[in-house]
Chain A
Amino acid sequence: MVRYLIRRIGMFLPTLLASSFLIFAFIRLIPGDPAAVMLGDQATPEAVAALRAEMGLEQSLLHQYIIWLTAALTGDLGKSIFFQVPVLDLIVDGLETSVLLALFSMVWIVILGLPIGMLAAARRGSLLDQGLSGLAMFLASVPTFWVGLYLILIFAATLGWLPSSGYPSIFEDGGITNLRYLLLPSLALAAPNAALIIRLTRASMLDVYREDYVRTARAKGLHPLAVVVRHVFRNALLTVVSAIGFTVAALISEAVVTETVFSLPGIGRMVVQSILRRDYPVIQGTILMIVLLYLTINLVVDILYAWLDPRVKLR
């Protein structure tokens, strides 16, 4: 296990380094002079030249990258051109919303996806199974913003149970109860992914149920619940866990839409707005942060997978 961990973490760092270079280089591919774009049409050539020098744009791309990377390693991601505050502060502000949103969504995905999928598998072919599978198909097909708008319509506008938009930090007035602002957005964000997990859990439980070792478990005279939990579920989980890892990627891109629908101050919305504002340092820093987040979650998923499936360590 330790050797596997070392090897897996050894893969983490080069991936992060490569993506950081790609992020940096791709932004430079956008045509036009960033300094000129930042200063606007009225800028004098001198002012542009001065800003170029200040930003280090006169140096080679590699040199610029190394400067940016070494600064980034110390936590300095530069300054936002639009807000004139350090990028890191903006990210930290947005991160609370985004991370909590993603976490809540993961919780929804797991508490909806696994039990409903297991139930559908246990009642295979019944009306309940068909109903649940139909629901899953429906949720997987409708767009996130549509689910979001309907949730707002029902739970915020009509019933008035939950707030429809915004998110005050849990460190502000209201404290932990502010989390209720994230219930609807996280549910909207979770819906299509939970639907995927429902269908996958169902299919993979049914697959495993036909395995020889499940027959062995039944031949041992175990209680049906013990057969399902100890033998079917744990093996079915192998497929599901790796799929949950993939949904993290979906969560990050769909979060952009959800944060917009619910006006949440998260990093997804910040990326969109920064692109519109040509705020390059913010785009760069935020995307790097998203990559870091994504790689970390994947690392956790892989470790979880290795813990679940002892065969992984051999490969």
Chain B
Amino acid sequence: MNALLSVRDLLLVGNAGVDPGVIVDRLSLVISEGEALALVGESGSGKSLTALAIMGLLPEPEVTVQGGGVEFDGHDLLLMPAPERRKVAGHGIAMIFQEPMTSLNPVMRVGDQIVEMIRAHESVSRKAAVARATKLLTAVRMPEPALRLRAYPHQLSGGQRQRAMIAMALACRPKLLIADEPTTALDVTVQAHILTLLRELQRDLNMAMLFITHDLGVVATIADRVAIMYCGRMAETAPVHDIFRAPAHPYTRGLLACIPTADRRGSELVAIPGQMPSPSDPVLACRFAPRCPRADSRCGHVAPPTVTISAKHFAHCHHTGSGCSP
């Protein structure tokens, strides 16, 4: 499979505010055509900023790209002039966000917002665009799509708004959909519906997806492959079943141990001790070392190697060997 998106050594630096310093530290990831990759990490690990950097939506000048490259469909997005890049945004790569409540313009009808997306990238009549918007709303299983087209965002429920966002994102048949925690703000039952919908649409349209989440629990439903991020760096990438069956990085193991399961009923909830360092804290060779149960003297000074566990399974750690789990 061809690489559709490849992020190479992306370096994002925060320049102002509470936490100046390196936010994303030479992060690399690849997504193939039609592949769903879940990018998992705690809040503040830099996963959302990575997505915004791909889209060219970083909150500059607070956060800027200081190095690396983002190649999409053979073109380096970071070197592209702004008008070219706008053609990619929405058309090549579309994005949906965490907060469906605030991510739609409150004073514009839902239909108009979808139509705006279509007509920004294709020269079609308004009428044709409206017809397409109706089809899109049907495709995302919006109840009474023709009616919802004329509704304002405040007249929709949270789940309906996220469906509208998805319809809008898919309007121009993007090759890649970036979904930044699209279900975090929703009720659990609605969450499941949206996840299933996204997965189905992704498969039906043969669209690649970068699904960002802090919840390892939803990953199995949504992704082919998982990338675990810790504090601005990649910890481990692996096909989804390998992550659950054979996690190699101590951080991944820690995360998996934190998921409450039925057979652990009654026992205390597990947590990884300590907390993620902030970008302004002193940088160790391995940023997870202070919290790692397997850390030794090497971890503080020697950069963790990239260890190939299997063909598609890589971990960045000195201690990937199996054995005692944390």
Contacts and interface: CB of A to CB of B under 8 A. Distances in A.
15 contacts: A213-B103, A215-B57, A216-B105, A219-B55, A219-B90, A219-B94, A219-B95, A220-B168, A221-B121, A222-B86, A223-B86, A230-B105, A231-B108, A235-B105, A235-B106
Interface of A: 211-213, 215-223, 226, 230-231, 234-235, 238, 308-311, 314
A14 B99 CA distance: 43
B116 A220 contact: yes
A221 to B, nearest CB: 4
Nearest to B114: A220
B104 interface: yes
A212 B152 contact: no
Q: Which 8 A-B pairs have the closest CB atoms?
A: A221-B90, A221-B89, A212-B102, A220-B90, A221-B86, A213-B105, A310-B152, A219-B95
Contacts of B108: 230-231, 234
Nearest to A215: B57
Given A220-B168, A310-B152, A314-B154, A213 B120 contact: no
A221 B87 contact: yes
B57 A308 contact: no
A69 B86 CA distance: 64
Contacts of A220: 89-90, 94, 116-117, 120, 168
A1 to B, nearest CB: 13
B107 A310 contact: yes
Contacts of B55: 219
Contacts, number: 73
A300 B154 CA distance: 24
A289 B35 CA distance: 71
Nearest to B118: A220
Contacts of B88: 221
Contacts of A221: 86-91, 120-121
Contacts of B116: 220, 222, 226, 230
A234 B120 CA distance: 19
Interface residues of B, number: 27
Given A212-B97, A311-B152, A219 B107 contact: no
A67 B314 CA distance: 92
Given A219-B95, A221-B87, A226 B120 contact: yes
B94 A222 contact: no
A237 to B, nearest CB: 9
B241 to A, nearest CB: 32
Contacts of A314: 154
Given A212-B99, A221-B89, A310-B152, A231 B94 contact: no
B93 to A, nearest CB: 9
A219 B86 CA distance: 8
Given A212-B99, A311-B154, A314-B154, A222 B120 contact: yes
A218 B57 contact: yes
Contacts of A238: 107
Contacts of A310: 106-107, 152, 154
A307 to B, nearest CB: 10
Contacts of A226: 116, 120
A100 B116 CA distance: 40
Contacts of A217: 105
Given A213-B106, A222-B90, A230-B105, 10 more contacts: A212-B102, A213-B103, A213-B105, A220-B90, A220-B168, A221-B87, A222-B116, A234-B107, A309-B106, A311-B154
Contacts of B106: 213, 235, 309-311
Contacts of A218: 57, 89
Given A219-B94, A219-B95, A220-B89, A211 B102 contact: yes
A234 B112 CA distance: 14
A22 to B, nearest CB: 37
Q: Which of B57, B105, B106 has the most CB of A within 10 A?
A: B105
B173 to A, nearest CB: 14
Nearest to A211: B102
